[in-house]
Amino acid sequence: MSYLYPLRLESTSSSENPLLELFLYRGQYQLATQDALYSDGRRYRPMLVAFEALKQNLKDVKNVLVLGTGLGSAVHILAAKGYHPSYTLVEHDDLILKWCIEHLPGDEVKRVWPVCADAQSHMAHNDMKYDLVIADIFKSRVVPAFVTTETFLTQCRRSVNPGGHIVINYMVNNDKEWRAAIAAINAVFPGNRVINHGINRIIIATV
């Protein structure tokens, strides 16, 4: 039936979100809030766009940090492409993180270290390094202001192995805010690449 219309599997609230809904649609799990779609399985466009841009580098990625996990679309998409790195999944909402772990494909859960924490706090104390860092952090349809601060971006840069990459998913709601955001990103990640996808901007940088 999910191939005809989305099937709502759960509808509830959490400590961070007044409404969370889990759907199955055309064989993929979707995570929705009141006004945003946070995950769409292997169809999640921002990660599809990012991984297509990085397709020549994915074979060298051994470990990945995902800040803002949703239902783990990054894991689903990489697994479908035949890549199985280890993951640190950082998610502030404990229910989202629980659903993410429960719905990971195959035996990918064996490669995952789940962390229930605010991304800003986590990065302030992080001393691990990764081949790929993904910042996909939203509050509803808004990227929190801390994501594009020099402090947070620098912490992310320090967490990337030399030659590794960072992916930032940004949603443009205000042109002035976007100009300020990309200026901050350019200062920490000069020479980055910005891919437009609707109102999303997928920023990819090599460290």
**Where do we find the tokens 């609230």?**
13
Report how far residue 146's alpha carbon sits from residue 189's, in angstroms, rounded to the nearest whole number: 16
Residue 6 scores a pLDDT above 90: no
Between CA 167 and CA 116 the distance in angstroms is 21
CA angle 19, 36, 38 (to 5 degrees): 90
DSSP helix, strand, coil percent of the chain (3-state; round to 5):
35, 35, 35
Distance CA 55, CA 177 (A): 30
Interior CA angle at 188 toward 147 and 72, to 5°? 40
Q: What is the mean pLDDT of the chain?
A: 93
Q: With residue 131 as reference, give the H or E element that holds it.
A: strand 130-135
Rounded to 10 degrees, the C-alpha dihedral 166/171/174/177 comes to -20
Determine the pLDDT at residue 2: 65
> What does the pLDDT read at residue 47?
95
Exposure string over 111-128, b if 16+ CB within 10 A, otherwise e: bbebbebbbbebbeebee
Q: Where are the domains of the chain?
A: 41-206
DSSP 24-80: EETTEEEEE-SS-EEEEGGG-HHHHHHHHHTTTTGGG--EEEEES-TTTHHHHHHHH
The pLDDT of residue 139 is 85
User: What is 41-206's CATH topology?
Assistant: Rossmann fold (3.40.50)
* 41: confidence class by pLDDT, cuts 50, 70, 90: confident
pTM above 0.85? yes
In this predicted model, what pLDDT tens digit does every residue of 44-65 receive, in sequence order?
A: 999 999 999 999 999 999 999 9
Q: Is the pLDDT of residue 17 over 90?
A: no
Element (H, E) at 194: strand 193-197
Q: Distance (Å, rounded) from C-alpha 183 to C-alpha 189? A: 10
* 181 pLDDT more than 80: yes
What's the pLDDT score for residue 179? Answer: 95
3-state secondary structure at position 91: strand
- Kindly report the number of other CB atoms within 10 A of residue 80's CB atom: 12
Residues 77-96, mean pLDDT to the nearest whole number:
96
Q: For the chain, what percent of residues have pLDDT higher than 90?
A: 78
